[in-house]
Amino acid sequence: MTAASPASTSGSATPINATPSPSSTPADDESQPLLKHSPRTRTPLPKLQLFLICVVRLAEPVASTQIFPYVNDMCVRMGYVDSEDKVGFVSGLIDSLFAFVQLFTVMHWGRLSDRIGRKPVVILGLCGVTFATLMFGLSHRLWVTILARCLAGGLSGNGAVIQTMISEMTDETNEAQAFPLFSLMWAVGCIVGPSIGGMLSRPTETFPSVFGGVKFWEDYPYFLPCLCSAIITGVSLLVALFALEEASYNTIPPEPDTSYPPPPAPTRMEILRSPAIPTVFLTAFLMMLVDESWDIVFILFGYTSVPSGGLGMSNAQLGFCLACGGLVGAAIHLFVFPRLVRRFGIPMYPWLLALHVPMFLGAPVLNALARAAGSGKKRGEIVPGLTYTGVALLLVSNGFATMVFPLNMMIVKRAAPSPLAMGTTYGMCQMVTSSARAVAPWFVSSLFAYTIETRTLGGQLVWAVMVVASFVAVWQSLRKRETPGTSISPYMNR
């Protein structure tokens, strides 16, 4: 089969829509970097459809992050735990279940989108998120809360499908502008979601003139942010139903003057046997493990009292900080990332991962400064200048660190063995990252609670472990193997 067939060479460096050199061979293609600068004129982006995809994408991060400011408070108030020091065990379980269940379903959603189209799967995912979010807000018992999170994870496969849709709309000349939009909308969701959760949870106390004395809001103090999140998801659902166009999936350019049938789509095992895929997936797993651990432990760190090792922030203060962090992340992905990726390319990857090291080291330093300043003696009574300055430094660093996500999308696109398997490949990658998202919240929350309870390493055990994990992730991203095309190192050639 000629090199023009995308399915013919696993891990080929040849772009989907590029015309290979007549003298090239499969072996030559195999040795080329998966990401390299192209002299071609930049292809115009389908701006309207990308905007609609962004609207659809916004629903999931809002639904996911709106629980962050109040989930620990919810566990205490609803009686899921008997003391604040143990809240990390239960809140970590709740956070983990979404990704744990998604681990077993997301690849099937991606493969289904390869068969029936992207749009129907997106619509099903939005319906599932809406139902599960409302159920979470109405839960009064731990098992209902857990079931709602499980349903949210199992019914949502939009992440992999939307990545695939963006991939199919772009080529090497314009992907640096398009891929950051996926992470950008997560950052925007991290503004909207925590703002909703922090401001609207326990509305009878936050807005007594409007909600005070109403029994429903007293009985269901966390339903209002879930309702607002469901409304946003409903808007995304309407956009997907009536405005979003179906992507051109399962297509490859026809070969002129031939009557050969198109090759079959690669199976999952064939995808896994592609030269670059195993190391790409392992690197993605470690990247997500470290990043998700930071997201979860920072929320616990902000909520926990200063004497116990945190900052003692209120729900509203924590939601404000998370929203500001999301705003900074959105600006970085929109304005900074395209310029940096054109200048430095994939070699930024390990350096961005390495930013987690000073972040994990900076948190206990900030706690020590808060202790010395007498901050957080009561929840919410913080020293604003010290606390907000320290938190800003941590969250700005995190905004730069999250640029690894669009870089990872670009790497997966290059590593996919065929455009016929693009949805499946992204689905498999999200299954890998979902496994990290399933492990990280429970692991780091439990480790945080254990550290507070036992004061191991002077109460610094959780930070020491995460610094080591960050170094391991950076090492994996730099690791080279003797076999060409099987490590991340080929992607780092410009």
Helix (H, G, I), strand (E, B) or coil at 356: helix
Higher pLDDT residue, 65 or 242?
A: 242
Q: How far apart are CA 37 and CA 463, in angstroms?
A: 39
Write the DSSP assignment of 142-153 as a string of letters. HHHHHHHHHHHH
For 142-157, give one letter per residue: b (16+ CB within 10 A) or e: beebbbbbbbbbbbbb
Say if 18 falls within a structural domain: no
Instruction: Give domain status of residue 14, yes or no.
Output: no
Is 260 among the domain residues?
no
Phi-psi region of 212 (alpha: psi -120 to 50; beta: other; left: phi over 0): beta
Are 35 and 346 in contact by the 8 Å Cβ rule? The answer is: yes
112-119: average pLDDT: 85
Mean pLDDT, residues 253-266 taken together: 59
Higher pLDDT, 409 or 131: 131
Q: For residue 381, is it within any domain?
A: yes
257 CB-near residues (< 8 Å, 6+ apart) = none
Q: Which of 72-81, 158-167, 243-252, 390-399 has the lowest mean pLDDT?
A: 243-252
Nearest to 313 by CA among 365, 366, 362, 358: 366
Q: Is the pLDDT of residue 189 over 80?
A: yes
Model confidence at 20, in pLDDT bands (50, 70, 90)? Answer: very low
Mean pLDDT of 91-98: 80
* Any domain includes 55: yes
Cα separation, 355 vs 371, whole angstroms: 25
CA dist., res. 183 & res. 186, Å (int): 5
Q: Which residues contact 143 (CB under 8 A, 6 or more apart)?
A: none
- Residue 20: which residues within 8 A CB-CB, separation 6 or more? 3, 4, 14, 29
Question: Sorting pLDDT into bands at 50, 70 and 90, what band is 386?
Answer: very high
pLDDT for the residue 220: 94
Q: Does 284 map to a domain?
A: yes
First-to-last C-alpha distance (Å) of the chain: 28
Q: What is the CATH number of the domain that holds 53?
A: 1.20.1250.20
User: Is 70 exceeded by the pLDDT of residue 14?
Assistant: no
pTM of the predicted protein model:
0.69
Closest CA to 67 of 378, 291, 290, 299: 299
Is pLDDT of 401 > 90?
Answer: yes
- Pick the more confident residue, 486 or 360: 360
Mean pLDDT of 183-194: 81
Q: How far is residue 380's CA from residue 306's CA, in Å, rounded to a whole number? A: 11
Q: Average pLDDT, stretch 317-337?
A: 86
Segments in 66-157 forming alpha helices (H): 71-77, 87-116, 118-137, 142-155
Residue 335 is classified by DSSP as I
Residue 47 has what pLDDT? 86
Q: Looking at residue 5, what is its pLDDT?
A: 36
pLDDT at 259: 55
pLDDT band at 258 (very low <50, low <70, confident <90, very high): low
Please tell me which residue, 66 or 114, carries the higher pLDDT value: 66
Mean pLDDT value across residues 4-21: 37
Please answer whether residues 264 and 417 qualify as being in contact, where contact means their C-beta atoms are separated by less than 8 angstroms.
no
Residue 153's pLDDT band (cuts 50, 70, 90)? confident
State mean pLDDT over 378-394.
90
The predicted structure's pLDDT at residue 270: 84
Q: At what angle do helices 175-200 and 47-65 cross, to 10 degrees?
A: 30
Residue 372 has a pLDDT of 92
**Burial level of 215, CB count in 10 A (0-12/13-18/19+)?**
exposed
**Least confident range of 64-73, 184-193, 208-217:** 184-193
Higher pLDDT, 225 or 483: 225
Mean model confidence pLDDT for the chain: 81
**What is the extent of the structural domain holding 139?**
45-243+273-492
Asked whether the beta carbons of 441 and 97 are under 8 A apart, the reply is no
The pLDDT tens digits of the residues spanning 423-471 come to: 788 888 888 988 888 788 889 988 998 998 899 988 899 999 999 999 9
> Which pLDDT does position 368 carry in this prediction?
94
CB contact at 8 A, 293 and 154: no
Sign of the four-CA dihedral 156, 159, 165, 168: negative
Q: Is residue 469 part of a domain?
A: yes
Per-residue pLDDT tens digits for 214-241:
899 999 999 999 999 999 999 999 999 9
Contact, 404 vs 353, CB < 8 A? Answer: yes
d(CA 60, CA 66): 10
- Judged against a pLDDT cut of 50, whether residue 32 lies above it is answered with no
Say what the pLDDT of residue 256 is: 53
Task: Quote the pLDDT of residue 225.
Answer: 94
- In angstroms, the CA 89 to CA 371 distance is 25
The 10s digit of each residue's pLDDT in 48-80 is 999 999 899 899 889 888 898 888 889 988 888
In a domain, 263, yes or no: no
Total structural domains in the chain? 1
